[in-house]
Amino acid sequence: GAVVSQHPSWVICKSGTSVKIECRSLDFQATTMFWYRQFPKQSLMLMATSNEGSKATYEQGVEKDKFLINHASLTLSTLTVTSAHPEDSSFYICSAREAGKTNSPLHFGNGTRLTVT
Amino acid sequence: GQQVMQIPQYQHVQEGEDFTTYCNSSTTLSNIQWYKQRPGGHPVFLIQLVKSGEVKKQKRLTFQFGEAKKNSSLHITATQTTDVGTYFCAGTYNFNKFYFGSGTKLNVKP
C-alpha cells in the first residue's frame, strides 16, 4: 500500500530556533500534500495544502511566514517552523493523496512530536 | 472556515455493547471518509462514502452517508477491545481538502 514517511518522529528545540519536518511519499507521487496539527486529545486541524511546484495555500489563521512549506518534488514536502516558541509545541502530521486520484484516501505519515523549550 | 462537527467526544462501553459516532456539516459535503487513530499512532483510513444515502459495511462496522450529504455515522456492533481508539470523520467540500471532525474516543472495557 501507499506509504508516507515523515521525519523526524520527534524533535526538541530551543525557543527561537527553526525546525524542518519532511514528508515523503515512498511509493507514489503526490501533487498535493496536507499538513495538519493535532493538540493533545484533539482533532486534526488542517494548516495548509502543499502543492508541488507552486505556493502552498494556508488555512485561515495560520501564519504563512511562521510555517514555511515547500513542495519541491512529487514525493517530498517540507514544513519549517520558524522562530519556534513553546506554543508551537504540538503533533504535526502530513498526509498525501496519490496524484490524479481526487477521490482516494489520505495516506498519513507517522507524525512529528515537536517540543519547544 | 469549513467545519465538521462530531459527537460524542468520548464513549465508554462494555465489551459486546454497540457504539455509534455521528458527524454533521452545515453545508453539503462532496464525500466523507472515516479514520481510526490508535493512541500514539496516526490516522488510518477506514472507508469513503460518496453517494447520497450510501451505506457500507466492514464486518462489524456500518457506515452511513445521509441523503442530504450533510451527515454521516459509524456504528460498531458488539464492540471488542481491539476497537479502542479515536474515530474521526473527514469531509471534503470540493474533493480536495479534508476537514476532520473532532473525533470520538472509544474505550471498551473487557
B26 Cα to chain A: minimum distance (Å): 18
Which of B110, B107, B67 has its CA nearest to residue B87? B107
How far apart are the C-alpha atoms of A63 and A82, rounded to whole Å? 10
Adjacent-strand bridge partners of A36 = A46, A93
Give the three cell numbers for residue A5.
514517511
B42 touches chain A (CB under 8 A): yes
Task: Report, at the CATH architecture level, how domain B4-109 is classified.
Answer: Sandwich (2.60)
**Mean pLDDT (whole number) for A92-104:** 84
CA A43 to chain centre: 15
Residue A96 half-sphere exposure, CB side, CA atoms within 13 Å? 30
Chain B, 52 to 81: residues with Cβ < 8 Å from chain A are none
pLDDT at B101: 94
How far apart are the C-alpha atoms of B23 and B106, rounded to whole Å? 15
How far apart are the C-alpha atoms of B25 and B66, rounded to whole Å? 11
Model confidence at B2: pLDDT above 70: no
A112 touches chain B (CB under 8 A): no
pLDDT tens digits along A83-96: 999 999 999 999 99
Residue A60 half-sphere exposure, CB side, CA atoms within 13 Å? 4
pLDDT tens digits along B62-71: 999 999 999 9
Q: Which residue of B has its CA nearest to A112?
A: B42
Percentage above 90 pLDDT, chain A: 74
Model confidence at A1: pLDDT above 90: no
Residue B13 CA: distances (Å) to CA of A111, B7, B19, B63, B68:
29, 15, 7, 19, 30
Sorted by where each begins, the domain ranges of chain B are 4-109
Average pLDDT, rounded, for chain B: 94
Adjacent-strand bridge partners of B31 = B92
